[in-house]
Amino acid sequence: MKKRSVSIAGHQTSISIEEPFWQALRGLASERGQSLAGLIAAIDGERPAQTNLSSAIRLAVLAWYQARLEAVTAAGRAPVSSE
């Protein structure tokens, strides 16, 4: 678990998520042409009030990977196996 501090809307907050999620979040930000802080702020602004920010980030990463998998599947290509 990696804990990092980020500034959202002018206030500091700490986020604890696993390193693979940080790596995926950086990939998502890069794909969208956003800074990591900008992407986190966007996720924060869209999350339901009852969902904590770390969970919202994990769900955003999951949704990104699911969308990529659906795009690959729709294009008729088999997804890459992790084996």
Residue 73 structure tokens: 């599947």
pTM value is 0.84
The C-alpha atoms of residue 28 and residue 65 are separated, in whole angstroms, by: 9
Domains within the chain, CATH numbers bracketed: 2-74 (1.10.3990.20)
Helix (H, G, I), strand (E, B) or coil at 41: helix
Token look-up 């996720």 returns 43
pLDDT in tens, 9-40: 888 999 999 999 999 999 999 999 999 999 99
pLDDT (0 to 100) of residue 78: 61
**In 10 A of CB 11, how many CB atoms?**
7
SS3 77: coil
